[in-house]
């Protein structure tokens, strides 16, 4: 039976995050031939509405309000609940991002509905959506079947977004909402640069651990990452040692990533770190200790001194680039 599914697109720094398009792809499957309605929040919204349509949304609702300039729990919760009250959809899908993790359980509680959190796949069993969710830090997976109202967050970089179709058209509308009694107001946002590429959406990640030994040691990782068009990540050990900022941390208490290629350099492979990257499609480990646990999950391993191996990789890649 065809359904209406609302997708909350996520705009950050004036751009739509890729997980917004992945959420549309998931919603199209759940809608089962029905309507996918993308919702965008902001003080002002530009061409993001067109991008959502080009990636599969059938209709877009723009919600513009000064209180929605930056994400706050109160403002976004009030806005989204009003959209859902007007649309009365059969489901809601959003990214399992910091925003999604904060907002989705509050919406589920208000609607007295269940929530599937951090799904890495969705399929249909008749008229019911079935979500695959990792448990035990990615060591196992469970399938959750949803009856009734579908509320779900999807892990970035797992569900393939639909091909962009610039010929697609769809209705774009706006609604006026009432936001009041805010407990939090964002006066200013101070961002610390992390190299540009979002770790959770990166296709390639070059990650360093304590074996990198210093802040200067991370510079060769950054050079390798630049050649590969990759993001730079780190283990908690490297962050604790102050080799890099905690914004780069990957692991159970950091970011969970699933890139196409994960290069672990000087990382021993503690359980905490493996929880954040073990589901990467291809894992390459470089470590001088042949018994390092990271080799147990790696698809390819290089036993050697990273300060010798990485410069060799860089030179080879430069040759490929030039050639």
Q: What does the pLDDT look like over 158-176, one tens digit per residue? A: 999 999 999 999 999 999 9
How far apart CA 277 and CA 285 sit, in angstroms, is 12
How far, in whole angstroms, is CA 261 from its chain's centroid? 16
Do 19 and 112 fall within a single domain?
A: yes
Question: How many CB atoms sit inside 10 A of residue 195's CB?
Answer: 19
Do 140 and 49 fall within a single domain?
A: yes
At 323 the pLDDT is 41
In-domain check, residue 193: no
pLDDT 10s digits, 276-304 = 999 899 999 999 999 999 999 999 999 99
How far, in whole angstroms, is CA 318 from its chain's centroid? 30
What is the CATH number for 240?
3.40.50.1220
Do 296 and 245 fall within a single domain?
A: yes
Do 114 and 224 fall within a single domain?
A: no
In-domain check, residue 190: no
How far apart CA 157 and CA 118 sit, in angstroms, is 12
In-domain check, residue 188: no
In-domain check, residue 263: yes
- Write the CB contacts of 176 (distance below 8 Å, at least 6 apart in sequence): none
- Write the CB contacts of 269 (distance below 8 Å, at least 6 apart in sequence): 285, 292, 293, 294, 295, 296, 297
Domain count, the chain: 2
Lookup: tokens for 266: 């000087």
Residue with tokens 């949803």: 146
Do 29 and 114 fall within a single domain?
A: yes
Give the rounded percent of residues in the chain with a pLDDT score beyond 70: 97
At 127 the pLDDT is 86
Do 245 and 285 fall within a single domain?
A: yes
What is the CATH number for 62?
3.40.50.620
Do 142 and 284 fall within a single domain?
A: no
Using the predicted structure, report yes or no on whether residue 200 has a pLDDT greater than 70.
yes
Tell me the average pLDDT across 270-281: 92
How far apart CA 165 and CA 179 sit, in angstroms, is 35
Do 65 and 150 fall within a single domain?
A: yes
At 194 the pLDDT is 52
pLDDT 10s digits, 37-83 = 999 999 999 889 999 999 999 999 999 999 999 999 999 999 999 99
Residue with tokens 């510079």: 219
Do 163 and 203 fall within a single domain?
A: no
Do 132 and 236 fall within a single domain?
A: no
In-domain check, residue 260: yes
Do 280 and 313 fall within a single domain?
A: yes
Q: Which band of pLDDT confidence, cut at 50, 70 and 90, is reported for residue 216?
A: very high
Q: Which band of pLDDT confidence, cut at 50, 70 and 90, is reported for residue 322?
A: very low
Question: How many CB atoms sit inside 10 A of residue 94's CB?
Answer: 27
Using the predicted structure, report yes or no on whether residue 122 has a pLDDT greater than 80.
yes
Which residues constitute the domain of residue 159?
Answer: 4-174
In-domain check, residue 204: yes
């Amino acid at each position: 039976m065809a359904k209406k599914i609302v997708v909350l697109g996520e705009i950050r720094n004036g751009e739509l995050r890729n997980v917004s398009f992945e959420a549309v792809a998931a919603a199209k499957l759940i809608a089962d031939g029905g309507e996918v309605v993308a919702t965008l929040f902001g003080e002002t919204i530009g061409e993001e509405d067109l991008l959502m349509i080009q990636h599969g949304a059938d209709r877009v609702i723009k919600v513009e309000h000064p209180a929605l300039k930056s994400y706050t729990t109160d403002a976004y919760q009030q806005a989204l609940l009003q959209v859902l009250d007007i649309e009365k959809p059969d489901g809601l899908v959003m990214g399992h991002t910091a925003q999604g993790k904060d907002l989705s359980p509050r919406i589920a509680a208000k609607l007295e509905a269940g929530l599937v959190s951090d799904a890495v796949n969705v399929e249909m069993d008749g008229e019911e959506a079935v979500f695959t969710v990792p448990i035990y830090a990615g060591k196992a997976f469970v399938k959750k079947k949803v009856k009734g109202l579908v509320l779900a967050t999807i892990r970035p970089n797992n569900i393939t977004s639909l091909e962009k179709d610039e010929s697609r058209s769809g209705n774009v509308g706006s609604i006026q909402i009432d936001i009041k009694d805010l407990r939090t107001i964002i006066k200013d946002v101070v961002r610390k640069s992390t190299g540009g590429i979002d770790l959770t959406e990166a296709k390639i990640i070059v990650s360093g651990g304590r074996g990198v030994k210093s802040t200067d040691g991370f510079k060769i990782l950054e050079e390798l990452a630049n050649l590969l068009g990759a993001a730079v990540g780190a283990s908690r050990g490297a962050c604790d040692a102050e080799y890099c900022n905690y914004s780069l941390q990957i692991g159970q208490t950091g970011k969970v990533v699933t890139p196409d290629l994960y290069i672990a350099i000087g990382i021993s492979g503690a359980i905490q770190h493996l929880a954040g990257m073990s589901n990467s499609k291809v894992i390459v480990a470089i470590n001088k200790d042949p018994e390092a646990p990271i080799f147990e999950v790696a698809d390819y391993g290089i036993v050697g001194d990273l300060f010798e191996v990485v410069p060799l990789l860089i030179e080879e890649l430069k040759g490929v680039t030039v050639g």
